[in-house]
């Protein structure tokens, strides 16, 4: 049935278009899990050991997706492992303020602030100068109302927040509250132990570049991960991971161990450059985007004259046969983004042909 709705995904890993393509080994592991009964708790423990071995973290747990992971992480900050507090959510007694910088109020299908509020927390948006933001945190710390600090590490953050991750982690530590980082599409950081310094809970989407079934991964400090996992028997019950997702994640993690991400970056940058070379007669400006937030998966910025032209190009590709989806988050600035991570060589050729067919010969 899925073939009837297939698209060429030159966007990246957006949820509305199936996120990623799983390797055959991962698909087989997930399918095999569906055919048998499984001790889910023991399976979680085994897959968690694979995560902590790669990340150098103390513990890990799993849920349905990264959006659920945000809610679970906040719930962990609100309840610890206290059974009465777990059972009471979303009613909260005591500290219930979760701080997030204004620039980190991303929307990945729903606002991250809603994912925070789902646990019963109140959101404090840090805005203004660095000094003003620190003063806001200090006021709630002194009042005993601050429960956690949340940050986002993502290309969805359109402008850098004044307080960087390391500085924000220190502020959270000084306030004796957990520091939670939503890094949904940045699972390559699992191999960067230094990145986790100061982070109590990091949240990833296994279904993005790890190319596993849909599953949220939380990893970090043992007590906070234990509290997040405990909430799977509370407010997170509807967010629980499935056996097939866990089996697929295990397979994907094992495959990742043998992959050199620097080699992946080199291959993907070369693919992006070949696409640009194949489009050198088109009336657009191209640039390879391969900064830290993209990890080993660079994107191509295709600059048009204005927002109208960029939107028209993205729409034309969407209605092309076969349908091609491209990044739309920068259309307002006249830019279409292309990513080839989950595009085959044949599909890349189709994309180039589509761009030639759609492009206006003269400006």
* Closest to 299 measured CA to CA, from 286, 312, 309, 318: 286
Continuous segment of H or E residues that includes residue 7: none
171-196 residue pLDDT tens: 999 999 999 999 999 999 999 999 99
| Average pLDDT score over residue span 295-317 | 95
| Average pLDDT score over residue span 232-252 | 97
Q: Where in the chain are the domains?
A: 24-257, 260-358
pTM: 0.94
| Average pLDDT score over residue span 137-158 | 95
Q: What is the CATH number of domain 24-257?
A: 3.40.640.10
Tokens at 64, concatenated:
């349905």
| Mean of all residue pLDDT scores within the chain | 95
Residue 314 has pLDDT above 80, yes or no: yes
CA 6, CA 322: separation in Å to the nearest integer? 8
Q: DSSP states of 59-89 as a string?
A: EEEEES-HHHHHHHHHHHHHHTT-HHHHHHT
Residue 360 has pLDDT above 60, yes or no: no
Residue of higher predicted confidence among 224 and 17: 224
Residue 362 has pLDDT above 60, yes or no: no
* Closest to 251 measured CA to CA, from 208, 213, 214: 213
Residue 162 has pLDDT above 80, yes or no: yes
Residue 348 has pLDDT above 60, yes or no: yes
CA 85, CA 177: separation in Å to the nearest integer? 17
CA 275, CA 278: separation in Å to the nearest integer? 5
Q: How confident is the model at residue 155 (pLDDT cuts 50, 70, 90)?
A: confident
3-12 residue pLDDT tens: 678 899 999 9
Q: How confident is the model at residue 295 (pLDDT cuts 50, 70, 90)?
A: confident
Q: Give the HSE-up count for residue 112: Cα atoms under 13 Å, Cβ half-sphere.
A: 32
CATH topology assigned to domain 260-358: 3.90.1150
């Amino acid at each position: 049935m899925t073939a009837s709705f297939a698209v060429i995904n030159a966007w990246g890993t957006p949820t509305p278009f199936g996120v990623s393509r799983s390797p055959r080994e991962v698909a087989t592991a997930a399918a095999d899990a569906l055919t048998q009964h499984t001790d889910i708790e023991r399976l979680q423990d085994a897959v968690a050991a694979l995560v902590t071995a790669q990340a150098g973290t103390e513990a890990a747990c799993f849920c349905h997706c990264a959006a659920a992971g945000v809610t679970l992480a906040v719930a962990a900050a609100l309840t610890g492992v206290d059974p009465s507090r777990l059972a009471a959510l979303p009613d909260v007694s005591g500290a219930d303020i979760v701080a997030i910088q204004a620039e980190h109020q991303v929307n990945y299908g729903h606002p991250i602030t809603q994912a925070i509020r789902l646990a019963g927390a109140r959101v404090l948006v840090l805005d203004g100068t660095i000094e003003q933001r620190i003063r806001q945190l200090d006021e709630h710390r002194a009042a005993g109302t601050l429960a956690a600090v949340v940050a986002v590490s993502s290309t969805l953050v359109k402008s850098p927040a004044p307080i960087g991750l390391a500085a924000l982690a220190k502020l959270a530590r000084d306030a004796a509250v957990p520091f939670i980082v939503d890094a949904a599409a940045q699972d390559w950081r699992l191999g960067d132990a230094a990145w986790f310094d100061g982070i109590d809970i990091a949240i990833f989407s296994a279904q993005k570049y790890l190319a596993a079934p849909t599953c949220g991964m939380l990893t970090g400090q043992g007590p906070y991960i234990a509290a997040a996992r405990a909430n799977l028997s509370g407010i997170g019950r509807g967010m629980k991971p499935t056996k097939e997702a866990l089996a697929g994640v295990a397979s994907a993690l094992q495959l990742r161990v043998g992959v050199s991400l620097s080699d992946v970056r080199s291959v993907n940058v070369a693919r992006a450059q070949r696409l640009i070379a194949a489009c050198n007669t088109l009336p657009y400006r191209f640039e390879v985007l391969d900064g830290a937030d993209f990890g080993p998966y660079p994107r191509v910025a295709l600059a048009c004259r204005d927002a109208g032209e960029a939107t028209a190009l993205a729409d034309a590709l969407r209605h092309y046969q076969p349908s091609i989806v491209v990044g739309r988050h920068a259309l307002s600035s006249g830019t279409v983004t292309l990513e080839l991570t989950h595009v085959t060589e044949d599909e890349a050729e189709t994309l180039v042909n589509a761009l030639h067919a759609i492009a206006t010969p003269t400006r």
